Amino acid sequence: MLDLRNIHKSFFIGTPNEFEVLHGVNFNVKEGEFVSIVGQSGSGKSTLMNIIGALDRPTDGEYTLDGVDIQKAKDHELSILRNKKIGFVFQTYNLIARTSALKNVELPMMYAGMSKGERADKARFLLEEVGMKDRMMHKPDELSGGQKQRVAIARAMANDPAIILADEPTGALDSATGRLIMDIFHKLHEEQGKTIVLITHSPELSQETERIITLKDGSIIGESAGNWQGLKAKEDA
Ligand code: ADP
Ligand code: MG
């Protein structure tokens, strides 16, 4: 699903300096996996997320997203690709404030050219899936943080993305609310087989995924299995 090979990313910080943030990152994510990328602040997580999400291009290396060679795609193709293949979830929700939850979820479908009736139906269905059936007509200002994140997840699912890419999705939430958001990701992963990439600074949160990729100072320093099944067993007991 995702294949990153020898990815480098440098930023130009004034002649003659280039500042390299990612130093040859390699990893892949298979269809249906729930993977986390964990690293401290400044380790390059957001830079890597921008590359995975086709918001930015690597300086060097190869990146294939669901069969598409990102380095070869033209700029206008990248935005189409993003809208089709990736569902973004951010720490700050990034909802449109002046319009309802329902319209927020409809928006990516509108960009994708879906008819009005079809997208309204689908938005309602997705909002039900995340437990927001009773608050579809509320605007973001009238929702709690956890509710806003539910809407954002429904929006991320709008165009049946190949992957969900979540950057610190529980970072602004208290732990009980964060727990409920993680439950939604687990449900999407288990029931729908969604491929999910979770980016986090929290080793504890990363344990709740199937596989953990550890980033330090712009390099991957290890991969390990998460303890998600173990945590589940404990919960069931
Ligand atoms: P994280 O998300 O893990 O906190 P970032 O990817 O935001 O890390 O940043 C990693 C490093 O790259 C930091 O040292 C940051 O200052 C630097 N960096 C990020 N974006 C830019 C940029 N556009 N120009 C120059 N340096 C940048
Ligand atoms: Mg960051």
pLDDT reported for residue 16: 82
Rounded-to-integer distance, Cα 178 and Cα 60, Å = 36
| 43 C-beta closer than 6 A to ligand 1 | yes
pLDDT reported for residue 237: 72
Q: Which amino acid, one-letter code, is at 135? A: R
Nearest CA owner, ligand 1 atom 18: 21
Note down the domain range covering 171: 2-236
pLDDT reported for residue 213: 98
| 218 C-beta closer than 6 A to ligand 1 | no
Nearest CA owner, ligand 1 atom 13: 42
Q: What is the pLDDT of residues 126-148, one digit of tens each?
A: 999 999 999 999 999 999 999 99
In ligand 1, the atom with minimum distance to the C-alpha of 167 is 2
Q: How far is the centre of ligand 1, averaged over its atoms, from the C-alpha of 47 (Å)?
A: 6
| 11 C-beta closer than 6 A to ligand 1 | yes
Residue 208: CB partners within 8 Å, gap ≥ 6? 36, 182, 186, 226, 227, 228, 231
pLDDT reported for residue 228: 80
Number of domains in the chain: 1
Q: How far is the centre of ligand 1, averaged over its atoms, from the C-alpha of 205 (Å)?
A: 22
The interface predicted TM-score (ipTM) is 0.98
The CATH number linked to 226 is 3.40.50.300
Rounded-to-integer distance, Cα 46 and Cα 37, Å = 10
Residues of the chain with pLDDT under 50: none
Q: How far is the centre of ligand 1, averaged over its atoms, from the C-alpha of 206 (Å)?
A: 21
| pTM, two decimal places | 0.93
pLDDT reported for residue 202: 94
